[in-house]
Structure formats: structure tokens, C-alpha cells
């Protein structure tokens, strides 16, 4: 059961999200709970509990915090990732999402599809950065990384 069974975003100190951001968050969490792959790698110096896991995501002191617990709520791992490597791709993602949301209201389907393809490309880049940053800390598949990247963007929205 190497998966996330519960996820919680700590967004207490963030401004209220726009309806579009809230929708992105709901969809990402729903999709993540439907299907994901999340494993803590084995360590020689200590045992690592098997999943399923409870995951808390937050931004503290300009770092992305992953708080991982086992199913009972006992601490399994905590790792902090610098936000620096995510800044540009998050900025690009928000810009393309704004273009996409505007396009849906005003442009023909062919132009919307072009913008959506660009949005998916930036989303894939964010997932790739996340997989790199998680190396040695957690193992996730591409789809899980994409959904987690969306949630990182949601946290960046107010950060």
C-alpha cells in the first residue's frame, strides 16, 4: 500500500483562493485520492513504515514542507524542500492558467486547445522538478507528481 490515503493542505495563513484556484485544488485532491503512488525509500540507518500514508503539505519559512505520517498518525518522515527551484515553473503555470481561463470564456476551441497543450507542458515540467527534488526522500509516479505540483501551486498562490 505505497500510496497517500489522506492529504491535508495547511493554508491557514493564505488569502482565500479564487474560484479557479479552489477548483484546481478540489480536482487535484480528488484525483490524488483516486489513484497515486507514494513510497518512502528504505534507509539503512532506520526503519521506514509502509503506507498508506497521511501527507501534510505546507509552506513554512519559505520552504515546502512534506509531513508524512503512517496510517495511525505516527510520524514517518518530514522533509523540507527549497521553493527556489519551483518559483519560475509556478509563475509560468499561473500565467498559462490565467490565459486558459480567459480563453475558455472568449476563444474558439482550437485556440483553447493550443493554450491547454502549453498548460499541460508546464504542468509536466513542474512534476519533473518535483520528482527531482524528492529524490532520496520519496518516490512518486508521474501522475502523482503532477497532482502534487498542482497542490504546491495552490500553496504558492498565497505564498
What is the domain partition of the chain in residue ranges? 4-158
Instruction: For 9-67, write each residue's pLDDT tens digit.
Output: 998 877 787 887 888 889 999 999 999 999 999 877 778 888 899 999 999 888 999 99
CB 64 within 8 A of CB 83: yes
Measure the CA–CA gap between 93 and 146, rounded to whole angstroms.
12
Question: Dihedrals φ, ψ of 136, to 5°?
Answer: 85, -10
- 71 contacts: CB under 8 Å, gap ≥ 6: 5, 51, 52, 53, 54
Give the H/E segment covering residue 56. strand 53-60
Amino acid at each position: 500500500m505505497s500510496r497517500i490515503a489522506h492529504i491535508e493542505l495547511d493554508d491557514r495563513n493564505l488569502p482565500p483562493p479564487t474560484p479557479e484556484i479552489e477548483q484546481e485544488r478540489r480536482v487535484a485532491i480528488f484525483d490524488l485520492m483516486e489513484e497515486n503512488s507514494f513510497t518512502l525509500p528504505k534507509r539503512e540507518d532506520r526503519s521506514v513504515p509502509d503506507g498508506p500514508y497521511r501527507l501534510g503539505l505546507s509552506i513554512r519559512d519559505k520552504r515546502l514542507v512534506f509531513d508524512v505520517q503512517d496510517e495511525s498518525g505516527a510520524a514517518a518522515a518530514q522533509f523540507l524542500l527549497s521553493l527556489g527551484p519551483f518559483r519560475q515553473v509556478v509563475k509560468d503555470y499561473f500565467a498559462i492558467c490565467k490565459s486558459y481561463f480567459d480563453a475558455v470564456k472568449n476563444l474558439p476551441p482550437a485556440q483553447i486547445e493550443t493554450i491547454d497543450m502549453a498548460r499541460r507542458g508546464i504542468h509536466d515540467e513542474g512534476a519533473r522538478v518535483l520528482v527531482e527534488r524528492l529524490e532520496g526522500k520519496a518516490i512518486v509516479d508521474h501522475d502523482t507528481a503532477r497532482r502534487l505540483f498542482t497542490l504546491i501551486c495552490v500553496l504558492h498562490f498565497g505564498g
